[in-house]
Each structure stands twice: as C-alpha cells, then as structure tokens.
Structure 1
C-alpha cells in the first residue's frame, strides 16, 4: 500500500522528495485491497503532474526571464528585471523530486512485471525529469536520491556530468528495450494512448535534445552520437510529424485539469514583452493572434496592432499611454495543450546538425520544416509567402535558426531558457531597470531547506561548482 499512497499523497521535504509514509494496519490487512501496483497505475499521474507543473512554470518563470511576457503594471522588481529570489527554484526542486520517487516506483513495478516497454518508459521519464532538474540547478542528488526507505535521508550530490552520463546511458538502454510486438496492457496512457512506437520515438527524440544540450562539452562526443541517431532511423526512430509529438492534451475532465484554476489569472496584470511581439511583427507571424491580444489606445476601445512593453523597464508605468498586448486567455482554457517535446524541436536539432556539418542533409530544409511544424502544433497554417520575408528566410546562421527555435519553444517548460544559455541566442535587449548587472540568470539557488538539513553534502557541492549563485554556470555551459 505504500506505493499506492505515493501516487496521490507523495510530497517533497528537505531530503530530496522522500515521501512521508505511514503504515495503516487496517489498510495493510484489508483483503479487498492490493499491496502491489502495476506500472500503468503510476504513469498517468506522473505525466499529468510533471507536464502541468512545467506549463505553469513556463508562464511563471520562463516567460519573464526570456522576455516573452511580464507583470504589468510592475513598478519595481520582478523576474523580468532579473530579480531572482533565493526561493525561486523551490517548487522546481520539490516537484521534480516528488515525481522522481514515483518514476522509481514505476520502474521497479515494470521490472517486477517483467514488462520491458514500461521499463523503457520509466527510464525515459526519469531522464526527462532529471534533465530538467539538473539543467535548473547543476549538480544534484542522483544516486542516493529518493532512497529514504533505505535510511538515506541526506543524499550526496552528483556532478551534472555524472547525471548526464547516467541518463544518456539510460536512454540508450530504453531504446533497446522496446518491443513493438508487445502491447502496453496496464491501462491507457494519456500521452500516446499505449502506442509503443511513439514512446520509442519520444525516447530517441529526448536523446537528441539532451545530447545537443551537452554538445559544447567535447568530451561527450555528442555530435557524432546525434548523427548516429539521425542516420539510423530503423534503430533510432524519432518524431516524424507533429501528430507524433509528445504534446499532452489537457481535457478539463477531472483529474486532467488546467494548471490554472481560473483562466483569468493568466491575463490579470500581464503584458506581452516588446521583444517577443516585435519579433513576431517583423515576421508578420500568423501565431500572433494565438499567442496574444492586440494592444489598445488610451480609450481602451481602438486596437492599435500587436505592441508589448519592454522587459526590465526603469521608468514608471505611466510612461506607457496604451494598453499593451496581453496573453490570449484561450491558451489556458480547456481543452488545452502542454508541450513536452515536439517534432518541431527535432527538426530544429537536425537543422543545427546540418548547419554545423555533422549530417549531410540541407539545413534550410530542416529549418523550414521546423518552423512550419512549430506553427502546426498550435493549429496555425504557415502562409505560402512566409519565407519570402527576409526576416523569416534562413540565412545560414545559428542566430536565425535559434530565433525561430525560441519562438517554437514557446510555452515549453524551461526550454527557451536552457537553449539561450547553451547558445546565447536570441540576443536579448538589456534595459536600464534590470538587476544582476543586466545578466540573464543561469541557474536557481539550492533551496534553504537543503542548505540547512543536508549541510555537509550541500557544502561539498557548492565547493565543487564555485558558489551557490544565479550566475554560476552549470557544467555544460562552461
């Protein structure tokens, strides 16, 4: 029964998400209850829990850090001014470790059931969540994490290199485990509806993402490993269409609910950033009405096109004599979508590989396909003349590619932030009201509870990375 309780009641505490478990004699002896779970029982809560959290964090953090949107009015402070509090990463740490416990239980249940497909899925989910966690903080507990039942309450931190080495190996193993001739029998999953082939494509598409993430570290041999995946589709199938993408459909039918209890909260005291809107305007981009509303003149009646507010502005709110573009509230009204990893991202990865000469295909073809797919995932048709605009046409530079990837990663958890840190693109404007020497923060600080209750291991990790600071680069950035 402990496992069943973890699905619904698990909560994170200082020792890295170890659930607080109580034994209830009447439950443990009830002959009408089960004492073991299937891997399928855990899968949907994990998918929904992580995905809905990621979508909410895209709004609460990534939009501001990456100059997509900002609170308005906003006289002082705020993430869009790079005012990142010590507690900014707490929910990220606690939420991911909570679900990592359940992923571990799912893997164990799959092994007990001798089901290789569910084991492969669990390995994939573990790599997905640990990559998000480590890319947010750097070194994190890994080998000793989620082992409270073994008496490990103060886990050691692994280096980010160790974490990535392990999860990349796990993705390789997951790909080898899939058995397309074997059905997933433990209920229908809410992401791929038990389509084993799509799960395998997700595994390998994630493998590409994470290899690209660490590709600046030459010791990873990441580019040749990515080329091997791309050039061997029979062994390493990846997403080949938007329909195959890892996009969770949030139906609104309990418990698959929008992360916003009230959709109006998504648009209350908000504005779109001038940087984001200006890029869409330059492109004459058809995604504008999907992402944003039109601005209005001071009377609040007449629309004046799409117009945002500069992030990190130093002047008073009264400077802006118009009502800026806002979020489109429909984005968080059910049915809605939560992006996990898309076909568009895979094509952007291929475009970068081709641009850098690691695969022989045409980078422009991949770029154009990626842009089209990035629109399709939002139900938008690309105009036939879109690439005739010089602002949209591929010019053979990483900067142009990454601008479109930035737009394509809109609302996709922390991915815009991670990719900016990897490449420095898109080039974001620096405004007078920004703090932190106008530098985009590159990580969260470790939670205070970890500092207090796991002090020895925390201090060891900090000594290794240099300092527990928002400007301390993680391993793959160095």
Structure 2
C-alpha cells in the first residue's frame, strides 16, 4: 500500500472535482421528476399514452418511488464528501475550506429537503454512512427533527460563507465560483423551508422569529437572492456535460404529454406573455385537455409543451429570484413582518416581473400583465384570495423546479386545481410517495418502525409539516 500512495496528494477526491458532477446529476434527476411527476400532479401536462398508472389521475405505482429516492441519496454522498475532504484538501486555506463546507451544507439541505418533502420520515442523521461507519440499515428520522437540523445546517453555511473566498469557476456550473451568490442561495433556501414549516404551531415561535430576523431585523447578515442574475440555475450550454437531459428525448417522446387545460386556459385568460415560451399551438391555437379524465375516455391531444424547452438553459432551476419575492409576498400578506420590511404588493409585483423577464420577455410586457385587473394586486382581498393570487404566480415561477410546486400545493392548497371525474386516491392530492420497495426490502425493521410512527405507507398519510389534505 505504501508504494502505491502519493505522499503529495489526498487519497480522497477534492471538493472541486466532486461538486460539478453532483450538481449536474442532481439537477438532471430533478428534471426527470419535474417532467413525469410534478407537471402531471400540478396539471401542467396530461399523459395520454396508456390508461393505467397515470400520475395525473393520482394513480401512482410504488415503482415511481425508486428513482428519486436512489438518485437523491446517491448524490448526497458526494455532497457530504465535499464537507469532509475540504480541510485536508485545502489545508492552510481557511477561506477556501469554508467555501466548500458552506456549499456542501447548502446542497445537503437542498437534497435532504426534497427527499423528506417527498416521503416524510427518512434516514437522515445516520444516512450515507455505509462506507465510513458501516451503517447499512439507517434509522428513519422524524421530519420535524430533520427540519430543525436543516435550519442549523443553513445557519452554519451562512456563517461559513461570510468568511470565504471564491472558488474555481470550472468546479461550479451554477454560480461560476461566486461565493456571495451561494450564500444568498443558502439563506433563500432557509426562507423557503421556514415558510414550509410555518403552519406547525409547535415550531412557530422559532420560525416566525427567524423569518423576521432574515427579512427585517437582521437582514444584512442574511443576504437573499436579489436579481434574476443571482438565481440558482444550472444553465445548460448545450456542450457536454452541460447539455440538457431533455435533448435526448425524441420529438415524439417530448410531444407525448399534452398540455393540461388548467395550465393553458389560465395563461390565455390572463394574457400571459410567457405562453409562447412554454407552449406549442395546435392547429393555430393554444388548447389544453382536461386532467383527471375517466379511464377509457382519453381526450384527443392538442397543445404540447414548446419544443424549445428541450434545450432551454432555464429548465435546470434550483431556486430563482421570482420565487424568493413571492415567498416574501406571502410573509408580508400573512403579516409575519412589519410593513417596514416591504409590502405584499411590492414583493408580488417584483416576483411576477422577475418570472416574466427571466423567460426573456420585456419589463414592459410584465407591466402590461400586472395592469390586468385579474392579475393586479388588491389589498381589499381576503387572505385566502391573496394566497391564491400569490401561489398561482409561484406555480408559474416554480416551473421546472423539482417537486416544489407539488410541495407548495400540499402546504397551502393553492392554486386551486380542478378535480377531474377520473381521480383516484379519493380525489386527494397525493401527500407523499410510497417508500420504495428496495428500502423496504433492505431495511425492513426501520421501515416498519417508520410506518408505525408516521402512519400507513400510502398516498394520503400526512408528513409533519402538512396540516390537511387538499
């Protein structure tokens, strides 16, 4: 062994070599989840290929659970290794060590949050330790405890990145090494997760206080994404390895899911300037088909998603500026901060404008859209009506953002979706996915304990932060 060991190099891969691969693989996997799961559940598209196992009908097979679970946990190993190997790999350079440790913690929080928001209680504190600690059957931890620890990770990341240096652009396909942008992403993600837990009374004191600190009382210490340029998007260049995974789909495969009536009709009704960026016309018209149709009554397919999306640089979204502004709009509408922090209307207008301009439309087009009485903010509305207005815009802003639109719908019930006659699962939006069969088979005792505590392993059991079904 000694003869084959280079005394001048680390036996572990440096974080800069792990980072780009892990980010690219995670975003690629997320885009698959968006296309086949989120878009179908949230009535962006309707799959008309076969009659059974249709996700849009809430008819979800156990096999759907395998890929996201396995892929997310696989990438966590690389993100965790970034944190562990940074001190050895960059010994003597504290700021560079802080950079990779901080980015690692943000990416871990991002991935773990997607896993727990998809399944509920999951292996967390002892996950991904098989290679180092010999733990191959990790305990499933409670979602509440997971969330509280995610908050701590993001606090640590913010502190680390406040004293850090930029990294090599080649190691970072999201921000090209700009560490200040990573810090803003971490705090913006923090705000997303705080809001997700904000209806749970048992943590509201902490959540509300931290939201006020980030948004109002100590915001200089918690910088947030503040422009479209700072959005966390792995912008596909078309050059390997940064070619969108959608480009491998044939035209027939891309056009197989048809645009849903809910998505199309509201874009038309509000005269949304982004409609041509997202949809292809059918016989000269934008026309969707209803989601949740009855088995055996498959409608004729009409509009599809625009072919330009196959290679769009914007589909690799992690978290964008528009989402952050609409998070702030909800916080202000619910009066979780004082008006001195900003008004719901100003945040709402900024979020809508950010979404429209991100997709290549002009700020004047955004202004015209916001002048539409059906779109414009109205302080006289009830809180529920304001939430509907905010979350319809967030629904559009979250297009191609992993499972976020589905998670936000489960949290709030907005935007209100029509219920087709063919829906299964008692017409209840799935609250989670089944635990995958592989996890059940390889970790049966801990799986059984998780089900005993959380509730039946079905599509209606609430995860911790959910307060009701929709």
Aligned residue in 1 for 2:145: 162
Task: Point out the more displaced range, 173-182 or 227-236.
Answer: 173-182
Aligned partners of 1:292, 1:137: CA distance in 2, in Å?
Answer: 31
Alignment correspondent of 1:147: 129
Distance 2:323 2:298 in 1: 40
Tell me the residue number matched to 1:208. Answer: 191
1:362-397 C-alpha deviation (Å, 9 max, x unpaired):
101110110111112211225232122222112341
Q: Counterpart of 2:41?
A: 65
1:417-468 alpha-carbon deviations (Å, 9 max, x no partner): 0000000011111111111111110101111121122111000000001111
1:234-293: CA deviations, max 9, x gaps? 200001101101011111211222212135255232210001111111110011100001
Which of 105, 112, 129 is equivalent to 2:111? 129
Q: 1:278 aligns with which of 265, 269, 273?
A: 265
Q: CA deviation at 1:178?
A: 1.3
**Superposed displacement of residue 224, structure 1:** 2.4
- 1:427 aligned partner: 416
Q: Answer whether contact 1:180 1:197 (CA < 8 A) is retained.
A: no
Report the equivalent of 1:13: none
Question: Distance in 2 between the 1:26 and 1:331 partners?
Answer: 52
Shift of the 196–27 alpha-carbon distance from structure 1 to 2, 3 Å rule, reads farther
The answer to whether 1:440 aligns with 2:423 is: no
SS in structure 2 opposite 1:271?
Answer: strand
User: Residue 314 in 1 paired to residue 294 in 2?
Assistant: yes
Q: Post-superposition shift, 1:181?
A: 6.0
Q: Assess, with a 3 A threshold, how the Cα gap between structure 1 residues 424 and 449 changes in structure 2: closer, same or farther.
A: same
Sort the Cα spacing of 1:181 and 1:50 in 2 relative to 1 into closer, same or farther, 3 A: closer
2:321 match: 343
Aligned: 1:102 with 2:82: no
- Segments of 5+ residues of structure 1 without an aligned counterpart are 1-24, 297-302
- Tell me which residue corresponds to 2:28: 52
Q: Secondary structure at the match of 2:316?
A: strand
Cα distance in 1 for partners of 2:65, 2:208 equals 31
Cα-Cα RMSD:
2.1
In structure 2, what is the equivalent of residue 363 of structure 1?
344
TM normalised by structure 2 equals 0.90
Partner of 1:16: none
Match of 2:231 in 1: 245
On the 8 A contact 1:73/1:317 being kept in 2, the answer is no
Indicate yes or no: 2:202 matched with 1:226: no
Aligned partners of 1:78 and 1:88: how far apart in 2?
Answer: 11
Question: For residues 312 and 266 of structure 2, what CA distance do their matches in structure 1 show?
Answer: 28
| Partner Cα separation in structure 2 for residue 70 and residue 201 of structure 1 | 36
Contact 2:267-2:275 within 8 A present in 1 as well: yes
CA contact 1:117–1:179 (8 Å) conserved in 2: no
SS at match of 1:340: strand
Aligned equivalents of 2:117 and 2:464: distance in 1? 9
Q: 2:439 aligns with which of 434, 438, 450?
A: 450
Q: CA deviation at 1:135?
A: 0.2
Aligned to 1:39: 15
Is 1:381 aligned to 2:357, yes or no?
no
Count of paired positions: 445
Pairwise CA distance, 1:99: 0.5
> What whole-Å deviation, never above 9, does each CA across 1:337-359 have from its counterpart, x for those lacking one?
41100110110011011101122
* Partner secondary structure for residue 135 of structure 1: helix
| Among 237, 255, 276, the residue aligned to 2:241 | 255
Are 1:291 and 2:262 an aligned pair? no
**Does the CA-based 8 Å contact 2:255-2:305 persist in structure 1?**
no
Give, in whole Å, the separation in 1 of the partners of 2:346 and 2:4.
59
Matched, 1:267 2:267: no
Distance in 2 of aligned mates of 1:365 and 1:175: 26
CA shift, 1:77, in A, is: 4.2
Distance between the aligned counterparts of 2:240 and 2:50, measured in 1?
35
Structure showing the higher helix proportion among its residues: 2
Is the contact between residue 98 and residue 164 of structure 2 (CA under 8 Å) also seen in structure 1? no
Q: 1:117 aligns with which of 76, 99, 105?
A: 99
Contact kept, 8 Å, 2:116 with 2:143, in 1: the verdict is yes
